Amino acid sequence: MQGHLEMLQPDERGPDALVWDYEDLFRIIADALHATGHDKDALRFYTPLHAKSSSELNLMSYIGLHTCYKNEGEDEKAAEIIPILQKWPAETYDDLAVLAKFFEDHGLWKDAMQRAETIYRDKYGHKLKRLGFKAYDELRVYYYNQRRQA
């Protein structure tokens, strides 16, 4: 596999580098490498896209990039991804649920609950439950009590 990846020259950054013509392919490869536990190689494909703020990087790619940095012990670089995720314009309840779970897992409770409350209020709480959102029961009890008081 290594030889095939080298054909794409992921470390080349010049104006004629393949990454600029194949950003979609670089993202797909990076996501696949991360998903199969090859974080060091995934970073070689994510890094140029991130450096250019490529529109190819989607929500799962940024979460993958964050996870790769964490797994490779690059905590400072991982921390740089958090503000991108905090500003992420979630277009679906699935995206909101993924973000809520990500923030919950990383101890960013305010960010997690902002998204979780929106999802729950709009009757999509099952999406949180399916992802294993730990504060789901607290949210359910909170809204149950709110309705009782009203």
127 and 74, same structural domain?
no
71 and 15, same structural domain?
yes
67 and 117, same structural domain?
no
The residue among 51, 71, 88 that closes a domain is 88
Task: Note the pLDDT of residue 2.
Answer: 55
Task: Note the pLDDT of residue 144.
Answer: 85
Residues of the chain with pLDDT under 70: 1-20
The answer to whether the beta carbons of residues 128 and 136 sit under 8 Å apart is yes
24 and 72, same structural domain?
yes
68 and 23, same structural domain?
yes
Q: Which domain holds residue 12?
A: 1-88
SS3 content of the chain, % helix, strand, coil (to 5): 70, 0, 30
**Closest Cα partner for 147 from 29, 139, 80?**
139
129 and 108, same structural domain?
yes
Number of folded domains in the chain? Answer: 2
The residue among 40, 63, 88 that closes a domain is 88
1 and 38, same structural domain?
yes
Task: Note the pLDDT of residue 14.
Answer: 61
Amino acid identity of residue 128, one-letter, is L
Task: Note the pLDDT of residue 12.
Answer: 66
80 and 110, same structural domain?
no
| Model pTM score | 0.86
Angle at 87 between CA 68 and CA 89, to 5 degrees: 100
Burial class (CB in 10 A: 0-12, 13-18, 19+), 56: middle
97 and 83, same structural domain?
no
83 and 123, same structural domain?
no
Angle at 116 between CA 31 and CA 110, to 5 degrees: 95
80 and 104, same structural domain?
no
The residue among 88, 117, 142 that closes a domain is 88
63 and 16, same structural domain?
yes
Task: Note the pLDDT of residue 16.
Answer: 63
Task: Note the pLDDT of residue 71.
Answer: 97
Helix (DSSP H) and strand (DSSP E) numbers for the chain: 9, 0
Side-chain half-sphere of 71: how many Cα atoms within 13 Å? Answer: 15
**Closest Cα partner for 60 from 86, 91, 85?**
85
Task: Note the pLDDT of residue 149.
Answer: 85
